[in-house]
């Protein structure tokens, strides 16, 4: 028994392979002849770009609309991967050309002027020039808008470390910040108050704050420090790290950030001897329940070198190496960030937002192998080689989809 359907029943039509092939031939011709480079839409928005305006155009034919939707979906997927990849997709799909990559390269300073020169808008060119001249390529970049006329750029140099540590010294505070602190990084356990007697004496005399990074601390030592802190005699914050697989390299990373060495018995050092020395001073550290934020003492160059070291370990890792742990360490050294505030009036302008998206996506992929592609209306596009491989797969996939369609069911408009 068929289910009874109430309301309007749409009339349908079944079309065969011949109509589908006619569509493909028709839409190819439409694309080649299309001149929709700048098109005004009903919402009074002017959209630049041949590809997008071609995809949005419709002759009212239901079959053409349904089949064109497949092209639009593939275009959108390509654009999500990398800006202008959708345009290149349409160009190759309709012209049935094979894309040959003549040259691949890793980005370096020699390509800077070529990349910047071919950005489309002055605002984005200014941002790119400033970034290349003043920042490391590994810095995280985020965008926000504001009601104003100028571009504002803010650098944040603090490093975030998610860290499992004994946060008893936070007490009931959500966070605690210390500036200009003396510190020591100890690969081991502080077993007695005698080992840090000289540190506590100096902390009480000079009233300077102290931070102790270590892998363990006797309960009596903890209670003694807590008591002296509560009386206002000292300001000492031990970071007692839980020793496990995740934290085995934490002290080394902290040493890189502080541009110092780790105190270790393996080097013939003792805690009591090292604490007698004048300890180095850090900039700023902020403690939270499960993380700390530090202003690094080392240079950007040292951070980049350490990133390269970790990245090399990831690339050369064998099957028994935990890549996730190395990736987490890598995140620590990419936490330096940059925030760009764009005038609100530009955020809704397609040519600005697309150019900005292209610049940011380039930065995200800057460590990959690149190639340069020329489109009819846009030259010298820097595109990652792995994106080109994905593009070719999508073109072949869509062609196969069209070839496999024997019939289509469409609604007939009344």
- Those residues with Cβ within 8 angstroms of residue 279's Cβ, 6 or more apart along the chain or in another chain: 182, 183, 184, 199, 210
Query: What is the rounded distance in angstroms from the CA atom of residue 286 to the CA atom of residue 295?
Result: 9
Helix (H) or strand (E) holding 266: none
Q: What is the DSSP letter of 170?
A: G
189, β-bridge pairs: 216
Query: What is the rounded distance in angstroms from the CA atom of residue 96 to the CA atom of residue 74?
Result: 16
Residue 228: CB atoms within 10 Å: 16
Give me the pLDDT at residue 5, please: 44
144, β-bridge pairs: 341
Domains and CATH numbers, the chain: 12-98+388-411 (no CATH), 108-151+336-365 (no CATH), 160-298 (3.50.7.10), 301-335 (no CATH)
Give me the pLDDT at residue 202, please: 95
Strands 236-241 and 210-214: parallel
Please give the model's pTM, rounded to 2 decimal places. Answer: 0.58
162, β-bridge pairs: 291
Burial 366-401 (b: 16+ CB within 10 A, else e): beeebbbbeeeeeeebbbbeebbebbeebbeebeee
- Those residues with Cβ within 8 angstroms of residue 158's Cβ, 6 or more apart along the chain or in another chain: 284, 293, 294, 295, 296, 335, 336
Q: What is the DSSP letter of 373?
A: E
Whether 262 and 252 have beta carbons less than 8 Å apart is answered as yes
In degrees and rounded to multiples of 5, residue 208 shows phi and psi of -75, 145
Please list the rounded mean pLDDT of every run of 10 residues in the chain (414 residues).
46 71 77 58 49 66 72 89 90 79 88 92 90 78 82 82 90 92 95 95 96 95 96 96 83 93 92 93 92 88 83 75 77 74 81 88 89 84 93 90 73 57
Give me the pLDDT at residue 4, please: 44
Residue 412: CB atoms within 10 Å: 9
């Amino acid at each position: 028994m068929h289910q009874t359907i109430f309301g309007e029943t749409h009339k349908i039509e079944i079309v065969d392979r011949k109509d589908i092939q006619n569509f493909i031939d028709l839409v190819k011709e439409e694309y080649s002849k299309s001149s929709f480079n700048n098109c005004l839409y009903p919402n009074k928005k002017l959209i630049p770009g041949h590809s997008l305006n071609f995809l949005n155009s419709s002759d009212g034919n239901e079959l053409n609309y349904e089949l064109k939707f497949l092209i639009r979906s593939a275009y959108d997927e390509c654009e999500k991967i990398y800006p202008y990849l959708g345009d290149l997709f349409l160009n190759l799909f309709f012209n049935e050309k094979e894309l040959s990559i003549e040259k691949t390269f890793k980005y370096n300073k020699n390509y800077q002027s070529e990349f910047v020169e071919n950005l489309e808008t002055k605002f984005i060119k200014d941002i790119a020039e400033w970034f290349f001249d003043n920042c490391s390529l590994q810095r995280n970049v985020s965008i926000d808008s504001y009601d104003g006329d100028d571009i504002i750029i803010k650098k944040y140099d603090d490093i975030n470390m998610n860290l499992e540590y004994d946060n008893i010294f936070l007490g009931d505070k959500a966070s605690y910040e210390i500036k200009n602190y003396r510190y020591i990084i100890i690969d081991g356990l502080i077993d007695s108050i005698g080992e840090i007697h000289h540190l506590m004496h100096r902390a009480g005399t000079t009233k300077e704050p102290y931070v102790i990074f270590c892998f363990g601390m006797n309960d009596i030592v903890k209670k003694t420090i807590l008591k002296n802190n509560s009386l206002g005699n000292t300001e000492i914050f031990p970071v007692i790290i839980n020793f496990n697989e995740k934290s085995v390299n934490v002290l080394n990373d902290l040493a890189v950030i502080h541009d110092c060495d780790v105190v270790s018995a393996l080097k013939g050092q003792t805690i009591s001897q090292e604490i007698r020395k004048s300890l180095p001073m850090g900039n700023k550290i902020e403690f939270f329940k499960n993380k700390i934020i530090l202003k690094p003492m080392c240079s950007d160059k040292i951070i980049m070198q350490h990133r390269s070291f970790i990245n090399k370990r990831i690339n050369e890792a064998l099957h028994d190496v935990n890549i996730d742990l190395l990736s987490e360490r890598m995140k620590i050294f990419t936490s330096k960030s940059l925030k760009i505030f764009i005038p609100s009036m530009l955020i809704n302008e397609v040519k600005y937002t697309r150019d900005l998206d292209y610049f940011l996506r380039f930065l995200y992929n800057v460590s990959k192998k690149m190639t340069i592609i020329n489109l009819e209306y846009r030259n010298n596009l820097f595109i990652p080689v792995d994106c080109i491989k994905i593009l070719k797969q999508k073109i072949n996939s869509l062609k196969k989809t069209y070839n496999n369609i024997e019939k289509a069911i469409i609604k007939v408009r009344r």
